[in-house]
Each structure stands twice: as structure tokens, then as C-alpha cells.
Structure 1
Amino acid sequence: MPSVATPSPAPPTHAGTGAQPRGRRGNPWLTLVAVAFGLFMVGLDGSVVSIANPEIGRDLDASTADLQWVTNAYLLALAAALILGGKLGDRFGRRTFYLVGVAGFTAASVAIGLSGSIQGVVVFRACQGFFGALLMPNTLGMLRAVFPPRKFGMAVGIWAMVSSVSTALGPIVGGLLVEHVTWESVFYINAPIGVLALVFSALVLPQSRNTAAADEKFDIGGVALLALGLLAVVFGVVKGETWGWTSAGTLGCIAAGVVLLLVFGRYETRVASPLLPMRLFRSPALTIGTVITALNFFVLLGVIFFVMLYLQNVRGFTPVQAGVRTLPLSLASVVASPLGAALTDRFGPRLTMPLGMALQGAACFVMLGWSAESSYALMWPPFIALGLGVGMVMASSSEAVVGNAPVRDGGVAGGLQATALQIGGALGTSVLVSLISGRVGATLTGELTSAGVPAEAAAGLARAKDAVAMGVAPVSGEMPAPLRSAVLDGSHEAFMNGVHLSVLVAGALCVIGALLAVVGVRRGAGASGH
């Protein structure tokens, strides 16, 4: 972050925010550095656990369902409380709730490593999610309060870069720690980061709040409706793969959640001090930016999930080797985030949103050419395109959402964007993996037979479709070498059939998102609407 070396003068206090910048507390670039610590910690932890899960399962004798809850408990708590975290910061102090979030997240991380049971891991993962929800939206809220309008776009670009890079670095950091230390170290690493974040933030962060909200009645009904609605939707999504997407349980959870969210929207128009002011959605750029944020992480987290399966289980790379091969994605996002912010400042999100979605769509369509034996020369170009697209969309959608909200609602807008991000990521992982699983189930027997597996044996091996959907071929040491080779070839072909269907769907959604941004966002929206 070269800009930190040349700090800008403190901006004037924004009316109605309660910000009181003085000395180092008035320096927006120091504020950006401080919030980057917490953001990096949450982003890293969101993706690092996928690498640690197998070792957690072996060490704690956990079932696959238990390991799913290691991920899902975090996701549910985070999604349910993000807008609440932003609202609490807007009303009682963004600095206060950011620091509470960092302290709680750090303590929960250490508690996970010390728990010694899978039940303890799940409980403290939920605590991590809750405290992450307190700190994440207030990072953008504080940036919105301290940066002058002309520099807010660049600040958002660096914020987006930190978020993207921390997510992409998770598999590499996790692989190194799990291979060379212990799975507990994946969580202990948050302790020094958290302590450093607390000390530095306490010294430099200014307090800011919506002073006009001090005497308003807190919207308890809105909190309950929103939390229950988000919990039901996300729970239905994460269980859809296990229960089946057309099962009564999945459809019932998602439908109940949607109904609760609709009731929440109606309720919010009737209360004097709403948790999420519906007036925010009068801005087309803000509304579409929220949708594009969800779509952006639908593609990013969904694609990264099956790419890591492909690299490790199909190609045979170790977690560290697989993580290193995805470095072009991280490096591209480093370039794209500030570039996207600069382009958004100049031309508005109507250019950068569709451009970013088009790059992601191109990455997905190139992956249609992947096979079980593809060279790395066919892998890194879509990684770069995906990283460029994700970084550009993160910068432009953050500007569109938070930049088009009134300063007094900065935390709420940050919470809205963070909620869209988490729900999009949950949908991406669940839906794309479900598509792979369904396609594997439909083609596995045929691919095994085509590869030379006898029809009777192929029919028996079809029961292993869940393993094949994760890229794992159902082979054993007792199999004759020719049969083993045929099973490997057929299983990998079936897995690639699922990957091709997933990237086709993801690419099509990127095209739809690009068109939505072109048609629905006014030229120049968000560029100066501060």
C-alpha cells in the first residue's frame, strides 16, 4: 500500500457522523491501515479452514456432517449479524464495535485451538462469525466517515484488495500451517494479528457515529426479522446439497426465509428508526451494486472451491502446491482493486462493474477447455482473468453501495454489502458443488464404461459418486493396474463433466450481471455521489 507513505491531511468532520479527527486519529490512511488488519484476519479465516478440515476430522474423530458445521456455523452467525453490526456501529460508535469485534474474533480463534473437541470447534466458530459481523461492516463505515469524497474510491480499492488477497491467500497459508505445524495453528495465527490490530487501532482510529440516531428507539423487531430470515435462507442453502435442492426441507427453509425477509422489508417502511432504511434502495447504483457483490462472490468462492479440489484430488498437488498455483489470482486482484477504484472514480461503476463481470465470465468459459490432464499453461490465464474481474468488481460495487449511501448510514451500507458478499459466497459454493455432484451422478457409469471398466463393476462403483464429485477416484490397492487406471480415467472425466457444467452456469451468470450493470446503473453513478 504505497499510498500510506504519503498521508493526506485530515478531512473535515462529516456532519452528523460524530467523527472527531485530531492528530494521528484524523489521518485517513492510518485508519485504512488499522481496519485492514481486522479485514485481513476475517478474510483469511473464511478460506483457510477448508484446508484444515480434513486434519480436524482425523484429529477429533469428526464426521463429514461435523466438518460441514465447522464452516456453516461461522457462515450462519456472520450472515445473520452483519447488518446489526453496522447499525450498532452507526449508533454507538464504529471504532468501539470494530475493536470489540477484533478482540472477540481473536479470543474465539484461540478458543478453537484449545477446545479439544469438535463440538467446541463448532461453537467457537459461531462466535468467530458473530464477532466478524461486528468488525467487518464498520471497516467501510469508518472509511466512509474519514475519507473525503475524492479519495474514497481509492480507499475502497485498497479495502477490496485486502479482502480479495486475504481470501485467496487462505489455502496457501492453511496448507503451510497444516503441513508443517498443526491444524490448531491455523487459528492461533489470528492471535498476533489480532493483538497488533487492537494496539494499532486503539492508537489511530477516530470515533465516528450517526449522532442523529442517539435518541432513536432501537429496532428490535427489525433485528429479529432480519436475523431469522437470513438464518433460514443461508441454512437452506448450505443444507441444499445434503438434503437435495428439491427436498421439502430445503425449499421450506429458503421459502420461510424469503417470506421473513419480505415481512422485514415491509416492517422497515413502517417504523420510525429502521434497522435497514428502505430509502437506501432508491439508488439504482446501490441496489445493483448489492446484487453484483453477491454475484461476484458467488463466482469467486464457488470457482475457488472446485479449483482446489481439481488441483489436489485430480492433479495430485499438495495443499501448498495447489495454493501456489493459484497465486496469479491473488496477484491479479492486487492490481485490479486500485485500478478498478481509479477507473470507477473517473468513469463510474457503469464501466467497471460490467468489465469486471465480463472478465470473470471469460475466465469461466476458458475453463470449459480444461481436462484431467490440462497443462498449467491452460490454468493461469483464467486465474488472472478471474482475479482481475473480482478485484475490479469489489472496488466498483463497494463504491456503488457505500458511496451512494448517506454518511450517517455508512455502517449499515457496509453491513448490507458484507451480507450480500457472504450470501453470494454461500450460494456459489453450495450451488456449484451441487451442479458438479448432479452431473457426476448422471455421467459416472457411462464414463467408467467408456474408460474400459466392465459394466457390472461400473454399476457398483456408481455408489461412490459423492467421492467422485470431490475429485476422488474410488480406487484401491487391490485393483489390477489396468482396472485402476480405467477407474481413474473414468472418474476424472465424470468430475470434469461436472466442472464444465458449473463454469458454464457461472459464466452465464457473469454475462447477466454485466448486462444488468450496463442497463441499470446510470453513467457516473457512484463516482461522486458522496
Structure 2
Amino acid sequence: MTATQTEAPVRAEPWPALWALCVGFFMILVDTTIVSVATPAIIEDLQAGVNEVVWVTSAYLLAYAVPVLITGRLGDRYGPKNLYLVGLVVFTLASLACGLTTTIEGLIAARVAQGIGASMMTPQTMAVITRIFPAERRGSAMALWGAVAGAATLVGPIAGGVLVDSLGWEWIFFVNIPVGVVAFVLAWRLVPRLETNDHRFDWLGVALSGAGMFLLVFGIQEGEQYDWSTITGPITVWRMIVAGLLVLAAFVWWQARNRSEPLVPLGLFADRNFSVSNLAITTVSFAFTAMGFPLMLWAQLVRGYSPTEAGLLLAPMAIVSILAAPVAGRLTDRAHPRVLTLAGFAVLAVSFVLLSLVLAPDTPLWLLVLAFGLVGLGSSFLWGPLATTANRNLPPQRAGAGSGVYNATRQVGAVLGSAAIAVLIDARLAANGLQFSPSEAGAGGGSLPDQVAGPFTDAMAQSLLLLPAVLVLGLVASLFFERPRHLGEAARR
């Protein structure tokens, strides 16, 4: 592997470059969650079912997760700035297509294109941070990156609600066009060109990981629709899920056997903190992606909130997350990651349990504000610290691969969260005696009748309990963090 200098040395002050990258990064992360608040409007306008609209998010996340393993390498080879700009163009044009479509199938296809663009952009942000910031300053830089990730996940529904109410659901996609143009100009002017490295590309690995993820997610998400039985001919839900697991096992086997340059260098996982961070961020991403569907449906269909009002329910999360992120960033450079992440997971899990317990047709607003504020506090001690800890010990020449793997696992968590919550919502609605059709039950802004609102709320509250159950896995993983090298070196000095 050889390195070639492609342009002048990196500027001494890297913060302008990071801010420029965060504009585009914020935009693509908002699109991960913004659809949840528009779900009832899309259902009504495109005459779609809940499961079809969930695919609007799942298709985006799948198209985001699978290529991100290789787009990190492409950034290493052709330059992270170049890949970021190309991905930004693809994402912005796909956003235009999303807004112009008139069918649910067309929207899903355009979301796939959006996901591919996002997969080209995301690894470059982390790779640039790893390469232009010294190890002792990466905590502060990653705190900004984590704050952007957390705020986007939380702010997306708020912005989506305002746009759906004032202009229509199409504008949750149209708004990306001017933002994309601004992000392109800023990145073109402020992001430096970095050294490139030659890479071979593991196309078999791409095919195996993509096929395995699709089979697994399709089986999980569509299982309830087919009564966990036959899909067509000899193809059953369980055979599809098992096939997905077997293909993913074959992918891992191939990565171990590939002696040239595997898609996922398993040697990265020799760094314990990298391994633990990947498992932990999968659970966080699972929880935040799954959270939006039951809460936004409950707020609009039980409380009768407009999309804007439903989105504003999440404002306490955004405010607390933004306020706490700088504190988390400073602590990340000084404190053991185990301390920060254990606190973050504990607060986040408790907040979701609280939400599930208090959710009712007449829940006082202050209780919801308290619970969502706790969600924001917990998340601020997870997004940035986990990203920093994952990549802090990696050498610069592996920044692209490490960033790609980390973002892929984050997106895998989001894909599984989207699929699992759809299944659980369907199952809990059926268990509570509801054959639910939002388009027939006031999806356009009305609320459910009283005799339905109670059982529907129970179903959403029960679905939310999946989130703390998954977060417990992240909490247990955080127990295995070890002291980062820079803290050990500082102690010796």
C-alpha cells in the first residue's frame, strides 16, 4: 500500500473543515428520522400501509449500511473530500426525486438512492477527524460530531413536523436541496485534500454483506405480514431469516480468509475499545431509530397533535443534548470511557422505561418533557464518547476502514431497529384487539375514538419496552472498555 500527497499539507486549524463537514452530516442524519413524523401524512397521501411506510426508512438505512463498508476505503483511495462531495451531489438529487414522487414504490426507490449518497459521505467525516486532529484533541472534535449526530436524530422530527404542517410532507425532502448546495460550497472551500492510499476492493464481501442484511431485515420486517409463514412457494419467513444469518456468517468467514484486503479488517477488532464501541453504538442506533414510530403515531393519532406539535414533543431531547454535548466532549478527553458510557446507557434506558410507564391518552405534558429531557441527557454521553473511543487508537492509514466499519455497525443497528419496531407494533396492536388502518382512523390530523385510543396507547407503550431491553446489551458491553492509550501516556508523564 503506497501513499501519495495529493495537495498542500493540512491547515494548522482544522475546525473550519470539521464545521463544513458537519453541515452535510447533519442533513443526512436528519433524513434518518424525519420520516417518522410524516408517517401519517404519507400513509394518507400515497394510500400506503404502516409497513410500507416503514420501508421508506428501512430501504434508506439498508442502502446506507451496506456500501458504507467500502466507501470508507474509496475515500482512502480517491480522497475523503472527493467522495464526500460526490455523495453530497447524489444525496441532494435523490432528495429532489423523493419530493417529486407520487407513489410509495417511487419514494422507496428514491430513498435507496439517498442512502447510497449518505453512505459515501458519512465515513469521510470520521476519517477526516481522525487524520487532521491529534489524538489528544479528538475528544473535543468527536464531541461536535456526536452532538451533530444526537441533535440531528432529535431535531429531525421537529423540523419534519413544521414542514409537513406548513408545506406538505414532500418538503421534508425538498429542504435538502438548498442545504446540500450550501454544504457543497463549504466543503469545497474548507475541507483539505489528504494523502491517498491504494486499495483493493472486496466486491465478494460487498455482495455477501448486502445479501445477508437484505434477507435478514426483509424476513424480520415482513414476518408479521405473512403470519411468520409462507411468502411464496418454498420461501418462508423463517427460511429467509436463517438464510440471511448463514450468508452473514459466510461473510465473516470470507473476511477471515481474505488475505489481500478484506472489506472488514478483522484485525481492527483486536483493539478492545473499537470492538466494544461498535457493539455499543449498534444498540444506541437501534433505540433511536425505533423510538420515532410508536411515539409519533401515538402523539398524532391519540393526542390529536399536528405534525409540528408532535415533533415539538422531542424538543427537550434536542435542547438537553446540545447543552450537555460540550461537557461530554471535555470529559471524553480526560475520563475513562467506561464511566461516561455507563452513565449514558443507564440514563437512556431509564428514560425509555419511564416513557413506557407514563404513556397514556391523558399523560401530563410535564411528565413527557421530563422523560424526553432524560433521553437527551443520556444520548449526549453516548454519541460522541463512543465515536471517539472507537477510533482514538487507530493509526491514520486505517482511519477509512475503521470509520467505515463503525458507521456500518451504527447503520445495522438502525436497520434492525426499524424492522423490529414495525414487527412489534403490529404484534402488540393485534394482541390489544386492534386491526389498525391509520388511513381510516384519522391519519390526516384527527384522533382515534376513545374506545380505540386506550388499547392503541397500550400497544405503543409496550413496544417502547424493546428499547431499554436492547440498551442493556450496550450497558454490559461498556463494562469492558479499557483505558485509552493517551490517558495512560498522560498518567506516565
When the two structures are superposed, what TM-score results if normalisation uses the length of structure 1? 0.83
CA RMSD of aligned residues (A): 2.9
Q: Which moved more, 1:287-296 or 1:259-268?
A: 259-268
User: Which among 213, 219, 222 is matched to residue 236 of structure 1?
Assistant: 219
2:70–2:263 Cα contact (<8 Å) kept: yes
Aligned counterpart, 2:391: 402
- 3-state SS in 2 of match to 1:466: coil
Aligned counterpart, 2:115: 129
Task: Give 1:60 deviation, angstroms.
Answer: 4.5
1:404–1:529 Cα contact (<8 Å) kept: no
Larger Rg: 1
When the two structures are superposed, what TM-score results if normalisation uses the length of structure 2? 0.89
Task: Give 1:171 deviation, angstroms.
Answer: 1.7
Aligned counterpart, 1:460: none
Aligned counterpart, 1:458: none
Question: 1:240-287, CA deviations, whole angstroms, 9 ceiling, x for partnerless residues?
Answer: 443355777433333222222222222222221112110011122111
Q: How does 1:374-389 map to 2 (within 5 A)?
A: 374-389=363-378
CA 1:218/1:509 → structure 2, altered by over 3 Å: closer, same or farther? closer
Aligned counterpart, 1:496: 457
User: Which among 180, 200, 203 is matched to residue 186 of structure 2?
Assistant: 200
Aligned counterpart, 1:34: 20
1:326–1:383 Cα contact (<8 Å) kept: yes
Aligned counterpart, 1:453: none
Identity %: 31
- 3-state SS in 1 of match to 2:363: coil
Q: Which amino acid aligns with 1:278?
A: L
Aligned counterpart, 1:141: 127
Task: Give 1:330 deviation, angstroms.
Answer: 0.8
Greater relative contact order structure (CA < 8 Å, 6+ sep): 2
Aligned counterpart, 1:422: 411
Task: Give 1:101 deviation, angstroms.
Answer: 0.5
1:19–1:146 Cα contact (<8 Å) kept: no
Separation in 2 of the partners of 1:307 and 1:245?
Answer: 26
Q: Which amino acid aligns with 1:235?
A: F
Q: How does 1:319-398 map to 2 (within 5 A)?
A: 319-367=307-355, 368-398=357-387
Question: 1:430-477, CA deviations, whole angstroms, 9 ceiling, x for partnerless residues?
Answer: 323433432332233xxxxxxxxxxxxxxxxxxx43348x99699xx9
Is 1:281 matched up with 2:269?
yes
User: Which among 467, 472, 493 is matched to residue 506 of structure 1?
Assistant: 467
Aligned counterpart, 2:478: 517
Is 1:217 matched up with 2:187?
no
- 3-state SS in 2 of match to 1:359: helix
Separation in 1 of the partners of 2:486 and 2:94?
Answer: 37
Aligned counterpart, 1:466: 436
Task: Give 1:120 deviation, angstroms.
Answer: 3.3
CA 1:238/1:167 → structure 2, altered by over 3 Å: closer, same or farther? same
1:97–1:135 Cα contact (<8 Å) kept: yes
CA 1:151/1:307 → structure 2, altered by over 3 Å: closer, same or farther? same
Separation in 1 of the partners of 2:131 and 2:227?
Answer: 45
Aligned counterpart, 1:450: none
Task: Give 1:195 deviation, angstroms.
Answer: 0.8
1:336–1:389 Cα contact (<8 Å) kept: no
Question: 1:167-204, CA deviations, whole angstroms, 9 ceiling, x for partnerless residues?
Answer: 22222222222221233322111111111111111111
Name stretches of at least 5 consecutive residues in structure 1 with no aligned partner: 1-14, 445-463, 478-483
Is 1:262 matched up with 2:283?
no
Name stretches of at least 5 consecutive residues in structure 2 with no aligned partner: none
- 3-state SS in 1 of match to 2:200: coil
Separation in 1 of the partners of 2:68 and 2:299?
Answer: 33
User: Which among 106, 114, 132 is matched to residue 92 of structure 2?
Assistant: 106
2:40–2:297 Cα contact (<8 Å) kept: no
CA 1:471/1:276 → structure 2, altered by over 3 Å: closer, same or farther? farther
Q: Which amino acid aligns with 2:209?
A: L
